[in-house]
Structure 1
Amino acid sequence: MSAAEVKKVTTNTLQIMKAAGQKISMLTAYDFSFARLFDTAGIDVLLVGDSASNVMAGHETTVPITLEQMIYHAQCVVRGIDRCLVVVDLPFGTYQSNPDVALASAIRVMKETGGHSIKLEGGEEVVDSIRRIVKAGIPVMGHLGLTPQSIYKFGTYAVRAKEEDEAEKLKKDALLLQQAGCFAIVLEKIPAALAKAVSESLEIPTIGIGAGKYCDGQVLVMHDMLGINNDFNPRFLRKYANLHDQITGAVQQYVKDVQSNDFPNEQEQY
């Protein structure tokens, strides 16, 4: 099938999927090659996540990654896709100060990457920025629950909104994000019953990560679900491959073959 024949996933597609009860699949991606693989495999949404700070750059948190680095990763991903919707995280420090800064950051992402939308973390405190970005014609995905950019505020990656006060605030924030114009909301690491209640209260889709099966879709970090990262094993993660061991084994065999002069053989030379 040619690129011209591929039916592209849009923000409207996700709305239709929610209305039809069809679950939305979402994965992170940070480069051309994996983006092309995931797009061909039929993923609905690719998130160019600020998790690149962890899995690509080796930082302890998502805080250090810059807007320029996010733009670079998004450019790579967009070149690899024909069908899926691409969402790009605004990194820490590029939207929290005021709506003008937030809009300028979002405009840079859209103009310089070819991505289709942006994502930012927070509830009531970022609503004005969301309204400003949406008014400019840029689709926004929200993010509530565990918000990794605020890890130093939380001090822990534990489940959020287990207490009634925080749960009620999350419900209120979800409605505020919808009213502000978000086309979808990521719910991260909150009780499944709360995620169910929030999902049922909204007209827009919810995408869960560690938020149970009642969300309208699910997202995982590619390095986690492919088993590349062996050190991260939360309850919500299902590993669909064990690339850590497969890649390690392949490289060890390559080293052995080079050292024994088995590679290249007669058929592998000119």
Structure 2
Amino acid sequence: MGNKKKMTVLDFQKYKDEGRKFSFVTAYDYTTASIVNESDCEIILVGDSLGMIMLGYNTTVPVTVDDMIHHIRPVVKGAPDTFIIGDMPFGSYNVSKEQAIETANRITKETLCDCVKLEGGANMAPTIRAMVDAGINVMGHIGMTPQTATSFGGFKVQGGTPESARKLIEDAKALEAAGVFAMVVECVPSVVAKAMQEEVHVPILGIGAGPYVDCQVLVTQDLLGMYGDFKPKFVKHFANIRAEMIKGLNLFHEETLSGAFPTPEYSFNKAVEIPSVYGPGNN
């Protein structure tokens, strides 16, 4: 590595126009961010998925703006050559346009991430337009939207009927008109994402949206086989890091019990003369 050049907001459209694919993963801490920064992946999302991955919730809903800022800051430090997206959590933008602008301002100012992302289709378009007019770089997110998943029966493929597919495409067009520079499309049939590509000009970043999109998105802990609680259909394990970590931990445990670790190689071996506890003349 060493020659990685950080993407800009304008590069998203440039890459799409040139037909150049790109990839997008997650990170929630400095160490993971630094590893992604050494990879060829261009984008990191610090997602509110940290609710499940890092905080152990079974939904993203409890995640706060403070939680997001706490996790985005070290990622920005760890990945200076990677484009960083900060997620806006549930309840931080659905009260009013003013609330959305204030939240986005705070996340951007306190973390120095490159843009914010929020969920919602045509219903959120006026809010997004107000944010863009306020000078904020906004990425959209439609399809399966985890923050409001319970309202449509949990984690399900979206756009599976002609009517819902058409509505998704209209949502995408509304986000484009509102000024997003790109949008995440989650859990939709490949054919719907393809139709969206044909009607929308801004880049489509797909997670579980098939091959006809500009960018593929996966959670790092999912694609590396680290997260054991849940594996969606669209997740491919490109490595099995969880098993390797357990293997390493068990080997450390075994060598601790047997005395095989630490050997002199992993010990400080300087000879030190230690005075008697009794001192001279005492018995």
TM tier, smaller? over 0.9
Does structure 1 conserve the Cα–Cα contact (< 8 Å) formed by 2:119 and 2:141? yes
RMSD over aligned Cα atoms = 1.2
Which residue does the alignment assign to 1:20? 18
Does structure 1 conserve the Cα–Cα contact (< 8 Å) formed by 2:37 and 2:82? yes
Q: Secondary structure at the match of 2:24?
A: strand
User: 1:150 aligned to 2:148?
Assistant: yes
Post-superposition shift, 1:6?
Answer: 5.2
Q: Secondary structure at the match of 2:227?
A: coil
Gaps of 5+ in 1: none
Which residue does the alignment assign to 1:76? 74
Alpha-carbon separation, structure 2, partners of 1:81 and 1:143: 23
Return 102-111 or 75-84, whichever deviates more. Answer: 75-84
Taking structure 2 as the reference length, the TM-score comes to 0.92
Q: Secondary structure at the match of 2:125?
A: helix
Q: Secondary structure at the match of 1:179?
A: helix
Give 4+ residue runs of structure 1 displaced > 4 Å after superposition: none
* Paired amino acid for 1:53: G
Post-superposition shift, 1:14?
Answer: 1.2
User: 1:67 aligned to 2:65?
Assistant: yes
Does structure 2 conserve the Cα–Cα contact (< 8 Å) formed by 1:6 and 1:82? no
* Paired amino acid for 2:73: Q
Post-superposition shift, 1:199?
Answer: 1.4
Alpha-carbon separation, structure 2, partners of 1:87 and 1:267: 43
Which residue does the alignment assign to 1:109? 107
Which residue does the alignment assign to 1:129? 127
Alpha-carbon separation, structure 1, partners of 2:48 and 2:231: 19
Alpha-carbon separation, structure 1, partners of 2:23 and 2:63: 25
Taking structure 1 as the reference length, the TM-score comes to 0.96
Gaps of 5+ in 2: 269-283
Which residue does the alignment assign to 2:277? none
Alpha-carbon separation, structure 2, partners of 1:235 and 1:153: 21
Does structure 2 conserve the Cα–Cα contact (< 8 Å) formed by 1:122 and 1:147? yes
Q: Secondary structure at the match of 2:10?
A: helix
Alpha-carbon separation, structure 1, partners of 2:199 and 2:123: 21
Identity value in percent: 40
Q: Secondary structure at the match of 2:140?
A: strand
> Bigger radius of gyration, 1 or 2?
2
Which residue does the alignment assign to 1:86? 84
> For residues 1-270 of structure 1, what are the structure 2 equivalents within 5 Å?
7-270=5-268
Post-superposition shift, 1:235?
Answer: 2.0
Q: Secondary structure at the match of 2:132?
A: helix
Aligned length, in residue pairs = 268
CA gap of 1:209–1:6, structure 2 versus 1, over 3 A, is: closer
Q: Secondary structure at the match of 2:86?
A: strand
* Paired amino acid for 1:45: I
Alpha-carbon separation, structure 1, partners of 2:170 and 2:107: 29
* Paired amino acid for 1:50: D
Q: Secondary structure at the match of 1:258?
A: helix
Which residue does the alignment assign to 2:274? none
